[in-house]
Structure 1
Amino acid sequence: MDALSEDLELLPETRRALRHRIAVAQSEGRAPSVVAAVVRGGEVVWEGSRTSVEGHGPDGNVQYRIGSITKTFTAVLVLRLRDEGLLGLSDPLEKHLPGTGVGEVTVAQLLSHAGGLAAETPGAWWERSPAALRPELADVLGDEPFKHSPGSRFHYSNPGYTLLGSLVEALRGKPWEDVLRAEVLEPLGLNRTSGRPQAPHAGGWAVHPWADVMMPEPVEDLGLMAAAGQLWSTTADLARFADFLLRGDERVLSAATVREMRTPVAPPEPGAADSGYGLGVQLATNGGRRLVGHGGSLPGFVAGLWLSEADDLAAVVLANCTSGLPPTAVAMDLLRIVADAEPRLPEPWRPSGEADRVPLELTGPWYWGTSPHVLRLRYDGSLELGPVGATGRTARFRAEPDGTWTGLTGYYAGETLRAVRRADGSVSHLDLASFVFTREPYDAQAPVPGGVDPQGWRGIG
């Protein structure tokens, strides 16, 4: 066994704790079956299941319906269109999909559930009724599609993702599922993810809330609503998809774009300060950890996929019950168990191979007013600027061909950092988004906004 495999392999005590957690979830949630997996470093390091039928425990190859995790797949397709230059996130829907009656909503607002559209379709409960009742987008949207002004707040909308699926079809000229298979499922090797169930698959069940009995749930094809919740998948496929959401894959989306997906766009709902939404993914804070993922449910099934970038961990939980077992809570617990018991080993320190591209004279202490900061050269050639001995606006910067740097993270994301030099070539100061960083606090030789008192520093007297 190589060193990498040893680092990924979980300890027996950790594996026992994971088995215990899903056993409790299946028992207390009264689920006919539950299957789960944990991913670390891009590898499945644990998988397990519990079932009410002895000897028939599901494995990572058994399909379950994943409900709204489908939305994350749809978001990937939309961002592919953006990266190809076929649309912009700020484009109004009307530019690419005219005639919907809600065309002022932007693509970004639809992706982040900030378009103000209704949560559900008018008429019968769409998850449990024939798609033939909603043959056109007008049937999905209804006569009063808006519940809020576009862009004013987060309001989860299933019809919004139906519009995104139709947008994909309009720009690709093919059915949503065909585009998904060709552009995402096949490149990532997700061969057990499909719009319709493929054996072996679990059956969906409704468990009586006050009696230990159950009945089968109907399986409806969602029609136009497919982009919001149609898919079936397995823990093995979703584990691979979770790793893609962490690292990207140039055949589908770059690492930069999946990072963009994980960035907060819509604010949380009132009273839910620990949550939010990016571009097709839910955001949450649990036990001090920033988590990204999505939950899903359709009659007979619940699902959860969550990941922690800081811990390089992901967890997937699938169950075949309409309610009772909370998949998101269980998945987050699986992440916590591994992260707490076996913290991620830090990456080995290594010297930079880019030192010749960054003048070392720029590194070291700088002052924003009287606040000390330090600028570091990282091994990958990026710069990191942050306060000394305090929390604050830490950010990384990418080198540009013209000698400036562009912010990648935090408050300064997208902002330009430049070194301003004197006539003799020496560095006067750093300029960042109108802020002047100097080598000494309020350096009188630098153009500090507002100027510096000519008497300089002095005591009281």
Structure 2
Amino acid sequence: AVGAPGSGFSYSNAGYVAAGRVVEAVTGMPWEQAVRTLVLEPLGTAPAFVGDRSPRRPVAGGHSVHASTGRALPVRQTLAPVEAPAGALLTSALDLLALGRVVAGHGPASVLAPEVAEEMRRPVAGADPGVLADGWGSGLALFREGTTLWCGHDGNAQGTSCHVRAEPELGAVVAFTCNGGNGTELWHALADGLADITGLRVPTAARVPERGRAVPLPECAGTYRNGALEYRVTADAEGALALSVGGDTPAPL
């Protein structure tokens, strides 16, 4: 263990894998069955999972674009069965809207009681948000837009990108899915368009933190390869570093 429980925070897919195992122990059902029975079907969502040989709904194929060549290639989702709770669910934007209403406290109480949804949205004290969000609740990322706190989550994997934001006071939910690994850029553009049309500004990413005093950085910008996989490290005019893996959208380091 890195630290005592409650003393620190780090976003980790392994945490969701552990949560999935807890779900199995509590319900007595495999994770897929529990999610299907307790959440998806009550919301009217036809379940589909990575690895399904005969999915019950149409599933879009994923694509990845190589940044340097602009070439798009089809990719297939791969996820070990034990890691299913960390990202094996296949959904549409409409499915994410239904789920967003639940975590905002406006969905069926049989799926999630409003008081439990409120607890999930409550910021966890001492959780250093990092670069992925402005704060964290119980499994939910929190994003601040002015004085308003939105909840939701982002998900990116091979050839896919999805985003959902929910604001409980307004009852507003915005969801986006893309069958491309670089869909985050389109998500930002659509959110800007939504603000221009409706005046509703949806936080698409965490606020940029105060960087403080500049410190010297090693000369690590460049392109690196591990077998067929390419890693590109870039630095902007202020020296801030970003990493792109396999041509995907750069993430700040």
CA deviations over 1:202-241 (Å, ceiling 9, x no partner): 1111101112212122322431111111110011221111
Listed as ranges, the matches of 1:119-130 within 5 Å are none
2:35 maps to 180
Do the aligned residues in 2 keep the contact of 1:305 with 1:331 (CA within 8 Å)?
no
* Residue from 167, 170, 176 that aligns with 1:308: 167
Deviation at 1:319, TM superposition (A): 1.0
Instruction: Give the Cα–Cα distance (whole angstroms) in 2 for the partners of residues 181 and 167 of structure 1.
Output: 16
Q: Does 1:201 align with 2:45?
A: no
TM-score scaled by length of structure 2? 0.68
How many Å apart are 1:251 and its aligned residue?
A: 1.4
One-letter code aligned to 1:150:
P
More displaced stretch, 307-316 vs 267-276 = 267-276
Show the counterpart of 1:220: 78
1:283 partner amino acid: L
> Could you tell me which residue of structure 1 aligns to residue 109 of structure 2?
250
Task: Give the structure 2 partner of residue 167 of structure 1.
Answer: 22
Pick from 45, 49, 52: which aligns with 1:190? 45
- Quick one: which of 119, 125, 129 aligns to 1:260? 119
1:322 matched to 2:181? The reply is yes
Q: How many Å apart are 1:248 and its aligned residue?
A: 3.7
Between the aligned partners of 2:116 and 2:193, the Cα distance in structure 1 is 27
Choose the corresponding residue for 2:6, options 151, 160, 169. Answer: 151
Of 155, 161, 175, the residue aligned with 1:296 is 155
Report the counterpart of residue 20 of structure 1 in structure 2.
none
Letter in 2 for 1:162: V
Instruction: Describe the shift of the 1:281–1:270 C-alpha distance in structure 2 as closer, same or farther (beyond 3 A).
Output: closer
Unpaired runs of 5+ residues, structure 1, are 1-145, 343-461
Work out the CA distance in 2 between the residues paired with 1:271 and 1:261: 19
> TM-score if structure 1 supplies the norm length?
0.39
Which residue of 1 is the match for residue 218 of structure 2?
A: none
CA deviations on 1:110-168 (whole Å, 9 max, x unpaired) are xxxxxxxxxxxxxxxxxxxxxxxxxxxxxxxxxxxx34443222210111111111111
Contact in 1 for aligned 2:161/2:183 (Cα 8 Å) = no
Q: 1:328 and 1:309, CA in 2 relative to 1: closer, same or farther beyond 3 A?
A: farther
Cα distance in 1 between the residues matched to 2:189 and 2:165 = 10
Question: Judging changes above 3 Å, is the alpha-carbon distance between structure 1 residues 184 and 209 closer, same or farther for their aligned structure 2 residues?
Answer: same
Equivalent residue letter for 1:229: G
Provide the secondary structure at the position in 2 that maps to 1:297.
strand
- Of 283, 299, 323 in structure 1, the residue corresponding to residue 142 of structure 2 is 283
Native 8 Å contact 2:102 2:111 kept in 1: no
- 2:95 is the alignment partner of 1:237: yes
In structure 2, C-alpha distance between the alignment counterparts of 1:284 and 1:242, rounded to whole Å: 14
Mark the CA change 1:260 to 1:188 in structure 2 (over 3 Å): closer, same or farther. Answer: same
Quickly say closer, same or farther: Cα 1:271–1:295, change in 2 above 3 A.
Answer: closer
Which whole-Å CA distance do the structure 2 matches of 1:273 and 1:301 have between them? 17
State the aligned residue count: 196
Q: Closer, same or farther in 2 for the Cα pair 1:326/1:287, shift >3 Å?
A: farther
- Check the 8 A contact 2:42/2:111 in 1, yes or no: yes
Structure 1 residue 190, shift from structure 2 partner: 1.4
Tell me if the contact between 1:295 and 1:328 (Cα under 8 Å) persists in the aligned partners: no
- 1:1-20 mapped onto 2 (5 Å cutoff): none
Is the 1:218–1:299 contact (alpha carbons within 8 Å) kept by the matching residues of 2? yes
| Cα distance, 1:300 vs structure 2 | 0.8
Task: Call closer, same or farther: CA 1:248–1:200 in 2, change over 3 Å.
Answer: closer
Matches within 5 A, 1:51-130: none
- Percentage of pairs with the same residue: 31
Q: Which runs of 4+ in 1 moved over 6 A?
A: none
Q: Secondary structure at the match of 1:233?
A: coil
